[in-house]
Structure 1
Amino acid sequence: MTIFRKGWRLLKATIEEWQVNDASLLASSLAYVTVFSLAPLMVIVVMVVGAIFGESTAQEQIVAQLAEFMGEEGAQLMATAIENMRAEAEGGPIQLVISLGFLIFGASGVFSQIQHALDRIWEVKPIPERQWLHFLRKRLLSFAMILAVAFLLLVSFVGTTALAAIVEYLNELAPGLGYVWHLLRWILTFTVTTVIFAMMYTILPDAEIEWRNTVIGAVITTILFLLGQALFGLFLNQTDFGSAYGVAGSFIIVITWIYYAAQVLFIGATFTKVFAQQRGVPIVPSDYAVPISHEERHSRSARQKRQKSPPLRLRHPRR
């Protein structure tokens, strides 16, 4: 079988699995949860990164990163939300503890939703008798992902600063090397984004997956993610959401980008599952989970076929 036929078979199987698992609906649910979880997540990241760089500097860098993905209007909306939540967290020790509790619970919601969706796509589910243990594990893993994202952003900030210093030094030796900065910065962004997706696929689901399958899936997801970022930025430069939708324009930008990112995440997860199956190293449940039953799998396929079937046309009897 040629590489093109293998690629076509892989693509076809990925699309079929994506439809069976209602990945589009899962992306909608994740986008809804993320709208409420993104600001608390960013506040915690600002606190963690700000412990080293200062919270003001950390917030400026994070907002600048968000602007690359969702445009200036969307980033400013998130900056306002971060400012408001940081203001709410200020106060006495009791208010600070309560605010941090709400922030952690809210921020972990998005990763809990991702875990649920990945379990569905990879056809595993937690052991029913251990639901309470699964809930605690899910929240702990979500909090671990928050810290991991904060650490990777910290690495990104340090790397960006170091690269800027290196390129500035090289420009003094040989002027006109500005393109080197853009290339190195893109490589750093690609690497950090790939690591984040790989960690999501490895840590969050109740499944065990071979590292090679994880890396391939994370790379494909990152390519789609950064491609969407470039196209979305080009689209925003050619349109004016502010004048067309007014105050709601910024919110529409944010929710649109989040929905696309969720779609990409689940397309990558579906691709990873199909790729692992075709390699002969399928994804298996972890010690805390079991595979879904044949009846559940058949029910999903039957529901998808009913959605594809054309509506029945009622014929009225002639008079």
Structure 2
Amino acid sequence: MTSPSFISRASAWPVRMFKRFSADRCAPMAASIAFYSAFSLAPTLVMVIAVAGLVFGAEAARGQLFGQISGMLGKDAAASVQAIVEHAHQSGGGGLAALISFALLAVGASATFSSLNTALSIIWPSEDKSKSGVTTLVKVRLISFGLVMGVAFLLVISLVLDTAVQAAGKWAFGASPLVILADVAQFVIALLILSCAFAALLKYLPDGHVPWRDALVGGSIAAVLFSAGKKLFALYLTHAGTASAFGAAGSLAVLLMWLYFAAAVLLLGAEAAASRVEQRGEEHEGGRAKKSGETRGATAHAVPQTLTSGRAGVSPVSAPSNPQPCASAKRLNTVGRTSDTLRSPAASHFLQLLRANPVRLTAAVVGAGLFLFARSPSGSSRK
């Protein structure tokens, strides 16, 4: 049977996630990421196609990539993106110009991941404030370049797995209706690859430390939302006619909308992971406080319980017929008489004088004592 505490924690997690999403202003940050991504999309795709083309050839990599874009954005937007990539690819020359072009492509491709680093570092801030700005900038650019290469590597893996799953499905099921199982397996594999990609972004891009298990949770949530939103976005474009409403800028509008959605989904996954860590920390602190409270309560009840058990284990002893007061009782009676004496008006007046001027009163008492000693018979005989 599911415990109520587990249900309350499970229901509080999404609420906390959306509150953090609103408090960190993730919607404006997603718009900023979409803007930078639109201008760095061409160099990113050029580098991805170049790296993936080393394994499968440029045409196969280009066909796979733009096939995915066409399924997400529609044919018109995919054609516009393909034209932009073709112009960016043909702008380079040879020799030194090619090296300069490659360096500019690398810097442009890392702009998207640099903007992601800025946004994710707000969600996962760094605890070490001593790092210099130049070191952080170089680190972000290197990580961004590595992630661009990672995207190309994922494209290669996607090509290999798609081909392998389709071939295995045709070999196992042929023309049978069970061939749909191959499509399901292909979808699951694509979802796992996407989850790993998002988890890597959440792990390495923020300045703060993100545990792998939390990055995987956030990446999985972002991958599921991304896959579901991809279908819904394609359905929306089919029936809404957004591209035609913007005229010549329709393809750019669709691209920006899609990039905004992808960035918002990734930030929501990051907030889900951060909410999980925050909730786990609060539960840990609450458990420690509860444990310390129970320890203090057990210590407070230990003495009465011990005395009670001691009284229960001792047999009653008959009181003597003529009880004699013990020494402690005599001392208590003496103290009681002394305290009664101190309550007299003369003693109270003496104590007030002693508090008011203790030095003068002490000197007077000593002088009076010496005078009485000198006047006494024993004192006279000594003289």
Pick the TM interval, shorter chain: 0.7 to 0.9
Contact 2:169 2:182 in 1 (8 A): yes
Per-residue deviation, 1:167: 1.2
Q: Percent identity?
A: 30
**Aligned pair partner of 1:64 in 43, 63, 67:** 67
- Counterpart-to-counterpart distance in 2, 1:251 and 1:84: 16
CA shift digits 1:203-242 (9 cap, x unpaired): 1111222221111111111111111111101112223344
Structure 1 residues 10 and 242, CA gap change in structure 2 (3 angstroms): closer
Match of 1:216, as an amino acid?
Answer: V
Number of the residue aligned with 1:270: 271
**Aligned pair partner of 2:133 in 125, 131, 134:** 131
**Which moved further from structure 2: 124-133 or 7-16?**
124-133
Number of the residue aligned with 2:184: 183
Number of the residue aligned with 2:90: 87
Contact 2:126 2:207 in 1 (8 A): yes
Residue 150 of structure 2 corresponds to residue 144 of structure 1: no
Contact 1:63 1:75 in 2 (8 A): yes
- Counterpart-to-counterpart distance in 2, 1:144 and 1:281: 35
- Counterpart-to-counterpart distance in 2, 1:106 and 1:128: 28
Residue 8 of structure 1: SS of its match in structure 2?
Answer: helix
Match of 1:181, as an amino acid?
Answer: A
Match of 2:205, as an amino acid?
Answer: L
Number of the residue aligned with 2:252: 251
Contact 2:124 2:209 in 1 (8 A): no
Structure 1 residues 280 and 250, CA gap change in structure 2 (3 angstroms): same
Number of the residue aligned with 2:338: none
- Counterpart-to-counterpart distance in 1, 2:41 and 2:240: 25
Match of 1:176, as an amino acid?
Answer: P
Match of 1:205, as an amino acid?
Answer: P
Per-residue deviation, 1:281: 9.2
Number of the residue aligned with 1:33: 36
Alignment of 1:222-261 (within 5 A): 222-261=223-262
Residue 176 of structure 2: SS of its match in structure 1?
Answer: coil
Per-residue deviation, 1:244: 2.9
- Counterpart-to-counterpart distance in 1, 2:282 and 2:209: 11
Per-residue deviation, 1:179: 1.0
Number of the residue aligned with 2:101: 99
> Which structure carries more relative contact order (alpha carbon 8 Å, separation 6+)?
1
Residue 281 of structure 2 corresponds to residue 280 of structure 1: yes
- Counterpart-to-counterpart distance in 2, 1:93 and 1:177: 53
Residue 81 of structure 2 corresponds to residue 73 of structure 1: no
Per-residue deviation, 1:279: 2.1
- Counterpart-to-counterpart distance in 2, 1:98 and 1:148: 22
**Aligned pair partner of 2:8 in 5, 15, 24:** 5
Number of the residue aligned with 2:51: 48
Bigger Rg, structure 1 or 2: 2
- Counterpart-to-counterpart distance in 2, 1:77 and 1:245: 14
Contact 2:125 2:206 in 1 (8 A): no
Per-residue deviation, 1:129: 4.8
- Counterpart-to-counterpart distance in 1, 2:280 and 2:262: 27
Alignment of 1:139-178 (within 5 A): 139-172=141-174, 175-178=176-179
- Counterpart-to-counterpart distance in 2, 1:152 and 1:126: 32
- Counterpart-to-counterpart distance in 1, 2:131 and 2:233: 45
Structure 1 residues 242 and 181, CA gap change in structure 2 (3 angstroms): same
- Counterpart-to-counterpart distance in 2, 1:165 and 1:153: 18
Number of the residue aligned with 1:121: 123
- Counterpart-to-counterpart distance in 2, 1:53 and 1:266: 33
Structure 1 residues 167 and 73, CA gap change in structure 2 (3 angstroms): same
**Which moved further from structure 2: 267-276 or 7-16?**
7-16
Residue 132 of structure 1: SS of its match in structure 2?
Answer: helix
- Number of aligned residue pairs: give it: 280
Structure 1 residues 263 and 125, CA gap change in structure 2 (3 angstroms): farther
Contact 1:119 1:125 in 2 (8 A): no
- Counterpart-to-counterpart distance in 2, 1:40 and 1:25: 24
Contact 2:126 2:209 in 1 (8 A): no
Match of 1:26, as an amino acid?
Answer: M
| Residue ranges of structure 1 left out of the alignment (5+ in a row) | 283-319
- Counterpart-to-counterpart distance in 2, 1:168 and 1:58: 23
Residue 218 of structure 2 corresponds to residue 217 of structure 1: yes
- Counterpart-to-counterpart distance in 2, 1:269 and 1:247: 35
Aligned-pair RMSD on alpha carbons? Answer: 1.8
CA shift digits 1:120-158 (9 cap, x unpaired): 112337635521111111111001101111111100001
Contact 2:222 2:269 in 1 (8 A): yes
